[in-house]
Amino acid sequence: MPLNAKAVYSRENADYVPFPSRRSTVHSTKGIVSCSQPLAAAAGHRILSQGGNAADAAVAVAAGLNMTEPCSTGIGGDMFCLFYNANTKKVHALNGSGRYPGEATLEKVRKDLGFAPGAPGEMPMMNALAATTPGAAAGWVDTIEKFGSGKLSLEQILQPAIELGEEGFPVSELSSHGWVEAEKDIRNASPNFREMLKVDASAKDGVRSPLPGEIMKNPTLAKTFRALAAEGKNGFYKGRVAEQIVKVVQDLGGYMTLEDLAYHAEVGTQEVDAISLDFTGQDIVSKATPGTDDGANRGVTIWEHPPNGQGIVALIALGIMEELEKAGKIPKFTEDQHNSAEYLHAVIESLRIAFADAAWWVTDPDVERVPSQGLLAREYLAERAKLFQPDRAADIMDHGSPAHNHCDTVYFAVTDSEGNGISFINSNYAGFGTAIIPAGCGFTLQNRGANFSLQEGHPNALAPRKRPYHTIIPALITNIADGSLHSVYGVMGGFMQPQGHVQVMLNMLAFGYHPQAALDSPRFCLAAPTDESTDRTVWIEEGISDEAVEGLRRLGHKIEVLTGWKRAAFGRGQIIRSYFDDGKLVYGAGSDMRGDGMAYPLL
């Protein structure tokens, strides 16, 4: 126990908020890892130091975060990534999301949950029926095989995380908070709860959630990582780990089978075409970082992962803002208008329109038609922009699906000395996911299936071997002029993610903020962006002016200002900005002050 830790940190002391003061942008010419947990950043840094590239280091970070921040992410969840290849100047996308069990049907699940035919209903978050096939393990392997340097083995890449699990690590502040908050769920979810709690003879059942600075070990997760390292996908999707996943899910009423896991190992991870939007609106400022051209390169391409992810929300919103500017409905906002009521109203309403589309159209493109290009067509964006009213908040638009606004995901960014960049996101969905632990495996299973619609006829309705609307999204920016990498960035946190992408990107490009300042700036969050109810609440982070808050209220927005721990609703982001100065590649990185993490440069 660290000195005086009990006096500072306790389960009852919920008012203690360890958000750090403003940070500075970190620079390097060799590469940077930026993530929400310092030990995980160190794991990625170690791989870069050993000759690995950005993709290799990203998998090391993902595994390290599973150990150190399991309240947000894990190998029992899903992953997506965007990889920028510096040699080809191309952006590649990997979809590592899992599918619903093949033996389940919408009718069966509704019956199991006790819903009458035709009656509304939602999937409960803490239920084995919410578990979808874990996609992260296959995604990690495929990331290394497709984009890795080829210099390091999977065992070498996973070794830092394995050591954290076997030797133990000191728990960071926000991870501890998440553990404490979720302890009851972990205990109730499965008989294997002891595996992911700290041994303490004085505690109930001899285990409890760890406090900040205490040493936590997870040897069973290290054993799972060793199996993956030795056998590749078969070490997770077949054999002992797979058998334990199926056993615990079926024991608790779920439908997952060994065939579901084997199917994902074979076809689960997909390399897909990233979607993009050329953005030149709001008087783009290229000179956000010293050494860049302020005149010749005034436009960027914003890259997002396609559906079943929700990255298209950010692109639709940005496209609508461009159309509003062209139509003269909003001005080119000046520096003194940043986070003003007029500016926030424009972004909020553009996002509401975008979410109204996404709530219907974002689903598994292998099962349903998803018209991504049509949603991003300029004619369509101009038509949707007509819904914007500069003098009031708009009425409810179209129809949506029930939403759960959870902010428990990890996003991280990595660049290397060769100029490659990877935007990577990994999640359990809500906290520890279902909190169900397969025996002897050391991780929890995700509850991503809770994001299916349980209404027949909805494009996102639950179906066998189908992937749900996915909240986790990586983002990346390139320069239109030459296709060079501009930034690798993202903001984690459920339905906050596309909202964060839009706000952080505009902070950098429309207002000229450096990466750390772009993350530090206070944000807003639509509380239930895909909910068709009358609740139009907008959460505003402390730090946005009282004048702006009152201005939004006058426009008809229902405003709630969040402080303290509630600021987790605004997500946690990472940015690595790429540019050239004096003929040399330079990176400038930021890491969100709302997290425990850091930007760790390579020497």
DSSP string of 32-91?
Answer: EEEES-HHHHHHHHHHHHTT--HHHHHHHHHHHHHHH-TTT--TTSEEEEEEEETTTTEE
- Give me 502's structure tokens: 């839009």
- Give residue-wise pLDDT tens across range 144-176: 999 999 999 999 999 999 999 999 999 999 899
Choose among 475, 490, 473, 471: nearest CA to 429: 471
Check pLDDT > 60 for residue 399: no
**Candidate ranges 212-216, 286-290, 404-408; pick with highest mean pLDDT:** 212-216
**pLDDT for 283:** 67
Given a contact cutoff of 8 angstroms between Cβ atoms, the answer to whether 82 and 274 are in contact is yes
Encode pLDDT of 451-495 as tens digits: 999 999 888 999 999 999 888 889 999 999 999 999 999 998 778
Inform me whether the pLDDT recorded for 404 exceeds 60. no
| pLDDT at site 289 | 47
Name the percent of the chain lying above pLDDT 70.
90
pTM over 0.85: yes
DSSP SS3 for 119: coil
**In the chain, domain spans:** 38-271+437-451
Q: Could you tell me the pLDDT band of residue 313, with boundaries at 50, 70 and 90?
A: very high
Least confident of 25-39, 52-66, 358-372, 589-603: 358-372
Q: Distance (Å, rounded) from C-alpha 174 to C-alpha 431?
A: 12
Instruction: Give me the mean pLDDT over the 423-427 stretch.
Output: 93
pLDDT of residue 359: 83
Kindly report, residue by residue over 257-271, the tens digit of the pLDDT: 999 999 999 987 999
Give CA separation, 285 vs 218, 334, 414, 567, 581, in Å.
46, 11, 24, 29, 17
User: Which residues on adjacent β-strands are paired with residue 584?
Assistant: 581
Residue of 22, 67, 26 whose CA lies nearest to 598: 26
Helix pair 341-361, 496-509: axis angle to 10 deg = 140
- Answer whether residue 22 shows pLDDT above 70: no
Please state, in angstroms and rounded to a whole number, the distance separating the CA atoms of residues 18 and 561.
19
Give the pLDDT of residue 280. 86
- Range 306-320 average pLDDT: 92
pLDDT at site 17: 37
Instruction: In whole angstroms, give the CA distance from residue 403 to residue 394.
Output: 20
User: What is the CB-side half-sphere exposure of residue 322 using CA atoms within 13 A?
Assistant: 21
**Average pLDDT of the segment spanning 87-94:** 97
Residue 340: C-alpha distances to residues 22, 344, 393, 549 (Å):
21, 6, 15, 9
Residue 402 confidence (pLDDT) above 50: no
Mean pLDDT of the chain: 89
pLDDT value at residue 10: 38
Residue 293 pLDDT level (bands cut at 50, 70, 90): very low
Tokens of 18: 């360890």
DSSP state letter for 171: P
Q: Angle 311-326/378-385 helices, nearest 10 degrees?
A: 70
Instruction: Using the predicted structure, report yes or no on whether residue 290 has a pLDDT greater than 80.
Output: no
Place of tokens 């709001």: 282
Q: Which helix (H) or strand (E) holds 302?
A: strand 300-304
Band of pLDDT at residue 566, cut at 50, 70 and 90: confident
Q: How far apart are CA 237 and CA 227, in angstroms?
A: 10
Say how far apart CA 309 and CA 270 lie, in whole Å. 13
Q: What is the rounded distance in angstroms from the CA atom of residue 249 to the CA atom of residue 265?
A: 18
Main-chain phi, psi angles of 519, to 5 degrees: -80, -35
Give the pLDDT score at 20. 44
Helix, strand, coil shares of the chain, percent, nearest 5, are 35, 20, 45
**Of the candidates 311, 339, 331, the residue with the CA atom closest to the CA atom of residue 540:** 339
DSSP code, position 481: T
Residue 80 — φ and ψ, nearest 5°? -135, 150
Question: Starting from the edge strand earliest in sequence, which strands make up the sheet with 78-85, in order?
Answer: 270-272, 90-96, 78-85, 421-429, 408-415, 32-35, 598-601
CB 407 within 8 A of CB 569: yes
pLDDT at 14: 38
In this structure, the strands spanning 558-562 and 537-541 are: parallel
Among candidate residues 273, 279, 380, 275, the one with its CA nearest the CA of residue 325: 279
pLDDT band at residue 398 using 50, 70 and 90 as cut-offs: low
- pLDDT average, residue stretch 368-389: 90
Q: Which H or E element spans position 267?
A: helix 258-267
In order of 250, 411, 493, 590, the CA distances from 508 in angstroms are: 48, 18, 20, 12
Q: List beta partners, residue 574.
A: 490, 591
pLDDT, tens digit, 9 for 90 and up, residues 188-230: 999 999 999 999 999 989 999 999 999 999 999 999 999 999 9
Q: Does the pLDDT value for residue 574 go beyond 60?
A: yes
Interval 513-564: pLDDT, tens: 999 999 999 999 998 776 655 567 899 999 999 999 999 999 999 999 998 8
